[in-house]
Structure 1
Amino acid sequence: MVADPVGGRDRRSFTTGLTTCRITLRSVASANPDTIIGRLIDGRYQVRSLIARGGMATVYVATDLRLERRVAVKIMHDHLAADEAFRARFIREARAAAKLAHPNLVNVYDQGEDNGLAYMVMEYVPGITLRDLLHDHHRLTVEQTIDIMDAVLAGLQVAHRQGIVHRDIKPENVLLADDGRIKLSDFGLARAATSNTASGSVLLGTIAYLAPELVTKGTADVRSDIYSAGIMMFEMLAGEQPYRGDEPVNIAYRHANDNVPPPSELQADVPQELDDLVIWSTERDPEDRPADAGGMLAALRQAERDIAAGGGTRVPPNSASLPVAPDPSTRLLAVADDEPVSWELPTQASDFVELQAAATQASVPAHPDVLVPKPAGFAPVAVSGLPPTANRLERINRQKRRSGFVAAIVVAMLVAIATGIGWWQGVGPGSYDPSPQLAGLAQAEAESTITAAGFTVGEVIGENSLEVPSGVVIRSDPDGGMPLAPDSAIDLVVSTGPRILTVPAVAGLDRDAAIEAITQAGFNYDPETDRSQFSGEPAGTVLYGTTSSGESLPQELAEQEHIRLVVSLGPVPDVEGMSEGDAVATLANAGLTGVVVDSAYSKTTPAGAVLSQSTTTDPVVQGDEIHLVTSLGPDLVEVPNVVGKPLKEAIATLESAGFTVTHEVPSYLQDIALVLRTEPAAGEKIDRGASVRVIVTVTV
C-alpha cells in the first residue's frame, strides 16, 4: 500500500549523490471514487484519497481516527462483494494475513464489512514498486538483486512456516518504501485475484510468474512461491522475463514445458552462484526446488558469502552500486542503467502502480530461449545446497522423452482455459470416491487437494488452536476416507492460531505489577529479555513494553506471545560539585563510565571538582559514557605595576592584562596625568576581567 497518485502520467526525479534517477509513475483510473472518498468506514476509518484501482479492489488512503495514523484501506469491488463465497474468502484470507508479522511484510491491521463494503485495513507504505524500478532501469545489479530477494524471502519464510502460500509473487507486489524498507504485499489475496472473476489483464500479469504445476494440475504449495520468486530473480538479473508472448496460453505453455535458462545467457556478468540458485528454484518438478522460502533464503545467503569470498561480483562497467547493508529490511539500492547512477528511495510518496500485463511484456526485449549446459566438470559449492548441474541435465533428458505426451495434455488444458472452460469441469465419472485426508495441510493446499479430487470446498470455519499453526487444517467434515459423490462439498476447520488478546497497559507500573498483569492477560514473560535504561522515573518503574522482536506493543497480540519490559534505572547520578575521583566512582557504581573531556575556570566550583556533566546517548543505558568537565578554579591574574606611567599607557597595560579600567581624569588632563597608584594595588591577584581603579597626579 503506497502513496496517493497524482493523476495522468508523471515522471519524478530522485536526486542522489551521483546523478538524477527518474522513475515513471502511472496513474490509475477509478470508476467513481467520489462515492467512497470522505466516507467514514465502520465509524473509524476516514477515507481521504484514492491510491489505486485493481481488478479485485480499490485502495484508498485513510485516517484511523482511533489510533491517529494513516492507513491503506482496500475495498472489494461491488460485483465481487455480492458474491458470498468470494466475500467469505476475502475476509478469511485477510484474517490469515493479519497473523503474519515481519518487517518485510505489509501488515494487515483490520478487516470487516460496513453497509455492504468488504474492506481490509493495511499498513500504509509510501514508496514505489519493484516493477517501477525495473520498468525505468531494465535490470538491477547483483547487490540490489540479493538485497531485494533477501528481504522478500525473509518475509515469505514467515508465511511458509505457518502453511500459507502467497500465490502471487511478482515485482508489482514488492514495495520499496521511501525510508529504505523492502516489503512483500498482497498476502493471501492471490487466489482470489486469479479466480475466474478477475480481469484478463490481472491474470496475464500473473502468468509470467506461474509455476508449472498450476498450469498442469491446478494445485499449488509453498514451492510454487519458490518458482515465482526464481522467475522474479531472473528478471532482476537479466533485465527481462524468461518467457514472453502476446497470449497467456503461450507463456503458460512454456512454463509447463521449458526449462528456465540461467540469467547469465542474457547477462554474462551474472555470478555462477546466482545462476545456480535461479535454476534450482525454477525446476519444473516442485520436488527438485528448495522446500520453502527458508531453504531458498539460506541458499541465497550462502551464495552471497561465496561471491564475496571469490573476490566480489562482476559488475558491468556502466553500473554503480552501494555497499550491502546488514539489514535486508533497510537496505538502499543502486541502479544499473545507461549512465552510472545510484538510486535511493524517494523522500516523497509515489503512485501505487498495478501494471497491466501488456505493459509488463512490452518493457522487456526478446531473447533466444536456448538452454546452454554448464561446462563439463562444473559442480557448485556443496554448502550452498544447490543440486549439481548434471542432475538438472539428467532431469531435462527425462522430461524431453515424455515432452510430447505432456505437451498434448497441456495444449488441451490451455485451450480450455483460454475459452473460459475449466479443465476440471470435464471430469465427472459419477462414481463415489474416498474423501482426501486433509488434517495437517495448509488451507490453500487442502482446498487444492479437494478440487483436484473432484470435490468442492464447502464452509471454512476458523478455530483457535495453540497446537496447530495458523492456516493449517485441524479437521474436515466428512473425515478423510469417507466415500463421497463427485462435486460433494467438504467443510474445513482451519486453525486461526492462538486467540488474539488485549495487551495490558504496563507503563508506569512497577516491574512486579507489570509482570503479573502480563501473565494474567494470557501472555508470556521472560525476565532474561528485560531492558533497563536511565530516566526521570523512579528505579523499578516500567517505562514501556515491547514485543519479543523489540517493536512497540500493539493493542492486541496472540495468546502466549512473549512481552518484554523496559524498566527505569532512575535518573543518571548527579555528580556536579564532586571531586573527579568521587564522581567517577559514583558513576561506576551505577554502571556508567565517567570520562573527563574538558576543564574550565569557575568562580564558584573549587579546582578539581566536576563543573558539569553530559550524556552521549539517548536513552542512557548501563555501560554508556558520561562526559565530565572539571573546574580549574577561578581565573586569577596579577595586577601589573603601572605607578608613575602616563595614564594612557597605564590603561593600555591594564586592559591587555584582561582588566577593565576606571578613572576620574577629565579628557583635557589625560595627556599630562601620571599614575599615582591602583586599586587593587600592583601585585595583587584578582579575577580576570575585574575592574581596576587608577588614581593619578597631574604635573604642570
Structure 2
Amino acid sequence: MDTTLQDPLVGQLLDGRYRVDARIAVGGMATVYRAVDTRLDRVLALKVMHPALATDGTFVERFIREAKSVARLAHPNVVQVFDQGADGSYVYLAMEYVSGCTLRDVLRERGALQPRAALDILEPVLAALGAAHRAGFVHRDMKPENVLIGDDGRVKVADFGLVRAVDTVTSTTGSVLGTVSYLAPEQIEQGSADPRVDVYACGVVLYEMLTGAKPHSGDSPAQVLYKHIHDDVPPPSAAVPGLAYELDELVASATSRTPDVRPHDAVALLAQVREARGALGADQLDAIPPQALTAEHDNADDRTSVIPRALTALRQLPVNEDDEPRLNRTSRLQAPPAPAPRRSAPPRRTMFTIIAAVLLVLGVGTGVWYINSGQFTKVPPLLAKTEAEAKDRLADAGLEVGQIEHAYSDTVKRGTVISTDPAPGARIRQNDSVALTISDGPEIVKVPDLAGYRLDKARDLLKDSGLEPGMVTREFSDDVTKGFVISSDPQTGTKTRAGTAIALTVSKGSPVDVPDVTGRDLDDARDELQEAGLKVRIASQRVNSEYDAGQVARQSPQADSRAAEGDTVTLTLSKGPEMVEVPDVVGDSVDEARQQLEDAGFQVDEDRGLLGLFGDEVQGQSVEGGETAPKGSTITIEIG
C-alpha cells in the first residue's frame, strides 16, 4: 500500500501558502515533503516536525532558533532555509529542493573515484562546513548521504538537523548522534562535539571516495565504534597502490584520533586540500583506482533522511572517465601496422633531397634538445602559501613574480595565495613571470537599517550592501503594515562577513481570530470567514464525519487560532457519517450487549425503567439488529 496516500498533509495547503504534493522522506524528527510555494510559484521542500515533538514547547523553540541560525548560512553549497512557521499543530521549515542524487548513490554505482573527482566533491563540502564553523556551528552528522549532487553538478551539504552552536552544551545522554562509520573518537567516548568532529568525518568520507570502502568495518556497530577509538584510519594507498603520498597525509591529518592534531575547522582542512591538489600532477589526479566501478558496497549501518532520485537522472560527473575509452585507445596503440608492399630498390636521390633530409633531422633534434634542456619548467604549488613563501618558491624555480592582486576570501587565510596565473603544475618557460592573487580574508560589512521597508526592497538593500537575504519569519504586528520588515537578525549596524544571510522578521499585519465553522453549511462558513477578512479554499477530498454530507468536517487553521488578514482557511467537507451495521443484542446480557455495540463503533445508553432495575437481559434495542446507523451514534438498549 502506498503510505503517501494516507498522509493527511498531502494535497493540503499549509499555512495558506504551501501546497503539499508528495512525501519524500521520513526522519526521526520530521517528515519532508515536496511542495509548491503558491505565492512565488516555486518547488521547495517542507520539513514538518512530527506532531509528538511539536507539543514540546522547549523542543519547538530550539527547532526554530536553530533553523534561524542555519538560514543565516547563505552559502552556495548549503541547502538553504527559506521560511519557518506553524499551522495549527504543524511546525515547519521551507527549504531549497535539490533535484539530483547523493554522494552515497555515486559511490554505490561507481565505486572508488579518481582523486580529482574526490577533491572536486570534497572542496565544496568543506567550503559549506567552513562557513558553518566560522559562524559558530558544527554539523555533527557528515556522511555521503548528506552530500547532495544536483542535476546541474552543484554540491550541497544537507540535513543540518543535528547542528548545534559550538558554544552550547553538545553532549548527549545515553546515545550517540550520527552514523557510526563517521563518528570521531571524542563523540563516541564523551558525546561532545566541536568543528573537529566534522573534520574527522570528512577525512573518513575522503578515504571512502578514494578507496570505495569505509576504513573500519565490523559485524556490529559496536565493533566499528571500538575501531574508531582504538585504531587509526589506514592510509588510502594501502588499498589503492600508487595513490599519491599527499592524499595519505591529507586523510591522516583529518582523521587523527587526537583532536588537537587535526585541522581546527573545515576552513583549515580546505587549505590543506588545496595545497595537496596543487602538489599533485595531472597523472596523479586522474589515476583510475582498481576499485572503480565496484558493485559491492556495505551500507548496513547507514541511514539517511534524503530520498534521492533514480541514478538514471545522475549527471555525468568527471568520475572514472577519460576523453575516450581506454580499451579502444590501447588497442589502437597495440595494433600491428599493415605490412608494406615489397618494392624494388629505391630510386637515386638527388643531392638536394639528401641535404634537405639531413637538415630536417638536425632541426628536429635541435628542437627536442631545446625543449628538454631546461628551457621550460613547471609552476610550483603555491596555494595557501604566504606571499613571501610564494616569492621564494618562484625564485627557486627560476621564475619571476608577476602582477600581484588582492581579493576577499571566506575560506583562504588572509595574506596567503588564492590562485596563480598560470596555475600550479602548468608548463612555463624559465624566467617568465607568475601572477599571484593574495587573500585579504573575508570582507566585513555593516547590516543596514531595514525596518519599515517592504520585503522586496529590504532584500535589494541587503544585496546592495554585499549581504544575502536569509530566512523570513512572519509575525503579527499592530504597528507595522503587512509585508513590511519589523526587524533583522543580526541587528542594524552589526558588522559581519559579506555574503552572510540576514534573517528578516516581516509583519503579517494585525491578527484575525479564526472563527469555528465546523458543522456549518459551506455557504454560511464561507460568508463568515470572508467577513473576518480571510480567504477560503475547499479541499479536494471529503471525509466521513459526524456532520451531514456537505457540511464542514474540519478546517485549517483550526478555530480560535490567529491568522493574518488575507490568509487562506482550508475547509474539508463531510461525506456524512460512516454507516455501520448494528449487531443484534436482544437476549444477551447487558455486559455482552454493551461490548458488541461498542466494538462496532457505537455508544450505548441503558433504559431500565421500573421493571429493569434488577434485570440483566436485553429485551429490546432502539435500532434493530441488521439495520445500519451512523458510526459513533448512540444505541439505547432496554433491560428487563
TM-score scaled by length of structure 2: 0.47
TM-score scaled by length of structure 1: 0.43
